[in-house]
Structure 1
Amino acid sequence: MLKKFSFCLIACLLLMCFNVKATPIEKIWVQGGTMQYKEKPVSVNSFEISKYEITNAQYAFFLNGIEVGANGIFKEIQLINVASNDLQLEFTNGKWQPKKGFENHPMVMVNYYGALQFCKWTGSNLPSEMEWIYAANGGIKNKNFKYSGANTLKKVGWFKGNSDSRSHKVGEKKPNALGIYDMSGNAWEWCRNDELKTADDFCVHMGGSWFAGEQPSQILAHYGNKPKHFSNSVGFRVIFAATTLTSDVNFFKNYKGKPYNDQVQQIPGKVQCEWYDLGGEGIAYHDSDNSNSGSGNLNPANGTFLNEFRINEAVDISYTKSRDIDNSPYNVVEPVMDELYAGWMIPGEWINYTVNVNTSGTYTVGLMFTASGDGAISLLLDGKELATDIVVPSTRHNKETVAWRQWHHWNRIDNLASFKLEKGTHVLTLKTVYNGNMNYDYLDFKLKE
């Protein structure tokens, strides 16, 4: 009993800690279109882009989430320059945190590989050079400005002429026509190189910086360096691929999904994560591939209900097992055996559930889960955010001797977030935001008295 209490206390402390430090990535929708580049038309697909350059606070949260130590190395790759006094992060008591006053400054002293690892953790990517230029120009609202948002740089960016030789908080200058800040000045921004093969290849960074003059801050100025390059004036921002959930404004108004087995899940109560709606990819869910990693794969097709549950759908489904798998001594909360769950979650994936809210009021939501590293989820109701970037603390245990069992330590947190719900039938969306590597058994909605 004491062991369980201690684990629960640690989990709750972790949750409180990371909720304070988690900073959501605000996104701007960029409608696709065609632009002229070097006198030729270039087509760009729709995407979302971070409203601001990635900040020190966001990057520190990521480093802690993947458990990067004081050396700044992850999987034998140096992500940040820990030897530089210009790094605006510090490693204290086993955790990364921004230096005081630099929380919302753009993350610098991060190389191309460090930017890519952040993208992997958040389900995003670096913009290509064409995507970056298109967004900086304002997309379909392009007014052919020299800089992103104006023809006068001091209105929209920090550069050598006005920066006082230092970076500044993101978002202090005027945004461009799409509402995106600092695409000219403050920090150079790494762009994606889809043909990168070696550490000696060239990677573009765009937009100029607080250290550079006016010419490098022009939208079409072309600079870059090797992917291992560190600088106190080079950072990055990220983009997210368009899905029906983000690109179709009438998605929920014309929702085509149907409740699984014709049974609408009820709130208050438990929403079973494997009972997501019928409708397939782009309607009931978005999955990173077309294969069910659990049913029919990890759990071979043998005619049994548990091994073949929703076998032909892409959401990855498994179930809790004994035999020293899910009945682990490192569980914080013991799971029920032979309980189905949704797993193998990747950032950017989402699942929809038709639910009926029986009573209007303020609810708390809990989650039964495993997490092989600190991560986060978001919840939406009819497309509107109920709670975003809800931190899901790691259930890893340093005494675990089998690597794959780190995905099978179960915990339940009964109050991840609270929000108001209106009575009626709705579509609830569970979206994986950070890290992934999580398994979801159920969401538990309780009405506050």
Structure 2
Amino acid sequence: MKIEYKEGELLEFNENGDTKLFGLDYTEMVYVEKGTFNIGDNNSGIENEKEATITFNNSYFIGKYPVTQEFYEYIKGENPSHFKGKYKPVEMVSWNDIYKGVDSFLKQLNNKLKEEHPSLNGKFSLPSEAQWEYAARGGKAWDNPDKFLYAGSNNIHDVSWFDENSNAQTMPVGLKQPNRLGVYDMSGNIFEWCIDNYVEDYQKIPNNGEAYQQSATMRVLRGGRWYDQVEFCRVAFRKYYYPDRRIGSDGFRLVFLPV
């Protein structure tokens, strides 16, 4: 089984070099090499986007695509989504559904991973807000001195499903252009839950890329939605809601954390 990776390479789940988890389409995980970046955007004029410097302690893998309905149903045995479609992102899932308790998606996924790939050392989780934005900007592969407004382009139509082109629904994953890391759909289509409790000031979050988990009521979502206007699909845009909220625009993307 592969041990060392270069940025943008796909995680191999077994000694055969398979990159599709459980043989399912759209389950690949992309390697994100640790580095330093500024989270946020000082040019937006929005208070909760004021930049802070993050230096990651560890590299990680992030989902090349949002979790699809097929993947979610494979693990949970159900599909709660409003906009049904095998390869559409799962939605109508709360942060609690994904992360909290013995019946959560992550608990069941990690149990199944141990059963089917016992030699793979690591676990799946939700991304921290810093992990999410670093990957959306392209990780270390991002070498443009000007930050892209969206995940992979300054032209939103290249990379995003939003209010002008989505036909008022979610769209199948992977149809738009990827960003420089090879990751799809990080602007528009669905909001994506992060682990973090929401805090307005980035100066208060851990500067090593880990999640902010001090006491707070709201959880963070990133990425914009199929019905959002362009400004809400910016890479730097932040949203937050109660962790039990379920609506047809909230889904998630996985990270895999090697140990």
Between the aligned partners of 1:130 and 1:21, the Cα distance in structure 2 is: 29
Question: Which of 169, 173, 188 lines up with 1:166 in the alignment?
Answer: 169
From 106, 121, 140, the equivalent of 1:119 is: 106
**1:195 aligned to 213, 224, 227, which one?**
213
Distance 1:175 1:21, change over 3 A: closer
Q: How does 1:149-160 map to 2 (within 5 A)?
A: 149-160=152-163
- Residue deviations 1:308-339 (CA, integer Å, cap 9, x gap): xxxxxxxxxxxxxxxxxxxxxxxxxxxxxxxx
Q: Is the 8 A contact 2:26 2:65 kept in 1?
A: no
Rate the CA distance shift 1:110–1:21 in 2: closer, same or farther, 3 A: farther
> Larger radius of gyration, structure 1 or 2?
1
Q: Describe the superposition over 1:247-300 as per-residue Cα deviations: whole angstroms up to 9, x where unpaired.
A: xxxxxxxxxxxxxxxxxxxxxxxxxxxxxxxxxxxxxxxxxxxxxxxxxxxxxx
C-alpha distance in 2, partners of 1:52/1:149?
14
Does 1:239 find its partner at 2:222? no
Alignment of 1:341-420 (within 5 A): none
The secondary structure found in structure 2 opposite 1:36 is: strand
Matched, 1:40 2:56: no
> What corresponds to 1:416 in structure 2?
none
The answer to which structure has the higher strand fraction is 1
Question: AA paired with 2:32?
Answer: V
**What is the aligned partner in structure 1 of residue 16 from structure 2?**
none
SS at match of 1:224: strand
Kindly indicate whether residue 161 of structure 2 is the aligned counterpart of residue 145 of structure 1. no
Task: Write 1 or 2 for the structure with the bigger share of helix.
Answer: 2
Alignment partner of 1:52 out of 54, 65, 89:
65
1:120 shift after superposition: 2.4
* SS of the residue 1:107 aligns to: coil
1: distance between equivalents of 2:34 and 2:23? 33
**Which residue of 234, 237, 240 maps to 1:218?**
234
Which whole-Å deviations, capped at 9, do the CAs of 1:378-435 have from their partners, x for residues lacking one? Answer: xxxxxxxxxxxxxxxxxxxxxxxxxxxxxxxxxxxxxxxxxxxxxxxxxxxxxxxxxx
Question: How far apart are the structure 2 equivalents of 1:219 and 1:202?
Answer: 20
1:360 aligns to what?
A: none
Q: Find the counterpart in structure 2 of residue 128 from structure 1.
A: 128
- Name the CA distance, whole Å, in 1 between partners of 2:51 and 2:243: 29
Question: C-alpha displacement at 1:21, in angstroms?
Answer: 8.8
Task: State the distance in 2 between where 1:21 and 1:48 align.
Answer: 18
Shift of 1:226: 0.3
1:29 is matched with: 31
Q: Distance in 2 between matches of 1:225 and 1:239?
A: 21
1:20 CA drift (Å): 9.9
1:21 and 1:57 in contact (8 A); partners too: no
Residue 24 of structure 1: how far off its partner (Å)? 6.5
Partner in structure 1 of residue 120 of structure 2: none
Structure-1 separation of matches of 2:164 and 2:26: 31
1:130 is paired with a residue whose SS is helix
* Conserved 8 A contact 2:76-2:108: no
Checking the alignment, whether the CA contact within 8 Å between 1:26 and 1:50 is kept in structure 2 is yes
| Structure-2 separation of matches of 1:196 and 1:171 | 35
Aligned partner letter, 2:29:
K
Check whether the contact 2:150–2:234 (CA below 8 A) recurs between aligned residues: yes
1:119–1:238 contact (8 Å) kept in structure 2: no
Identity %: 33
Aligned mate of 1:87, from 82, 87, 91: 82
List runs of 5+ in structure 1 lacking aligned partners.
Answer: 1-18, 69-79, 89-98, 244-449
Match of 1:63 in 2: 76
What residue identity is the alignment partner of 1:121? Answer: Q
State the Cα distance separating 1:178 from its structure 2 match.
0.5
Q: 1:24 to 1:211 in 2, by over 3 A?
A: closer
Runs of 4+ in structure 1 deviating by more than 4 angstroms, as ranges, are: 19-24
**SS of residue paired to 1:35:** strand
Q: Measure how far apart 1:140 and its partner are.
A: 0.5
Q: Deviations over 1:57-92 (max 9, x none)?
A: 01111112xxx7xxxxxxxxxxx8x6xxx634xxxx
RMSD between aligned alpha carbons? 2.3
Aligned match of 2:225? 209
TM-score in terms of structure 1 length: 0.41
8 A Cα contact 1:21 1:61, kept in partner: no
Query: Paired residue for 2:244?
Result: 228
Cα distance 1:112–1:196, how it changes in 2: closer, same or farther (>3 A)?
farther
Distance 1:156 1:22, change over 3 A: closer
Q: Structure 2-normalised TM-score?
A: 0.69
Contact kept in structure 1, 2:26 and 2:68, CA below 8 Å: no
Q: CA deviation at 1:40?
A: 3.3
SS in 1 for 2:256: strand
Deviation string, structure 1 residues 79-120 (Cα, Å, up to 9, x no partner): x8x6xxx634xxxxxxxxxx5xx0000000000011222222
Instruction: Deviation per CA, 1:356-375: give whole Å up to 9, x if none.
Output: xxxxxxxxxxxxxxxxxxxx
